[in-house]
Amino acid sequence: MIPTILGNNIKYGVNFMKEQFESEFCSVIYKSSEKVVLLTWKKFCAYDDYRNPTTFALELLRKYKDSQFVVDARNGFEDDKADVEWGFKVLLPEMSKTTCKKVVFILNEVSTIEDEMNMWKKEFNKYFTVKDVLSYDEAIAYLKA
C-alpha cells in the first residue's frame, strides 16, 4: 500500500521533502520551468529500488499541481511481476488522484521492450492521455501544445 505522506515523514527510505531522487537505477526530478516530473530509468530494478523512485514521482505530482509526468525509458523499463501488480493496483490509481492529465514516454525508435511498454501504456491510458516520443524536447513540445 502507498503510504500517506505527512510533513517530513520518510517512507521506503525516501525523503519526500527533497526535490530530486537519484539512485543507480533511476533519477526523478521536478522541472519547474516545464511543470514536469521527469523519471529517467537507468537499468532494471525491483521492489524498493523500483517503488522508491516511482513513489517519489507520485509525491512530486501531488506537490506540484498541474504538472505532467514524463518517463524516459530509453535505457530500459523492465519490471518484476510483483512491481507490475503494485503499479497497476496502487501506483497508477494514486497518480490518477493528482492533477496530472498527460503521461509521455520517451522511447528509442526501435525498442527491445515494446511488449512491456505496450502493457504499461494500456494501463496508463485508463487514467491519462499517453504519448510516445523520441526525446525530452519532443515531450515538452507535445505538453505545451
The domain 23-144 having CATH identifier 3.40.50.10490: the answer here is: no
pLDDT of residue 75: 87
pLDDT score of 78: 66
**pTM of the shown model:** 0.85
Q: Which residues touch 80 (CB under 8 Å, ≥6 apart)?
A: 46, 47, 50
Is the per-residue pLDDT at 44 higher than 80? yes
Hey, how many other C-beta atoms are within 10 angstroms of the C-beta on 23? 16
Scan for cell 487514467, then name that residue. Answer: 127
Sign of the Cα torsion 49, 125, 72, 113 reads: positive
Looking at residue 72, what is its pLDDT?
A: 95
27: confidence class by pLDDT, cuts 50, 70, 90: very high
Is the pLDDT at 114 greater than 50? The verdict is: yes
* CB of 84 closer than 8 Å to CB of 40: no
Kindly state the cell numbers that stand for 35: 511543470
Amino acid at 133: V
**Partner residues linked to 101 by β-bridges:** none
pLDDT of residue 18: 75
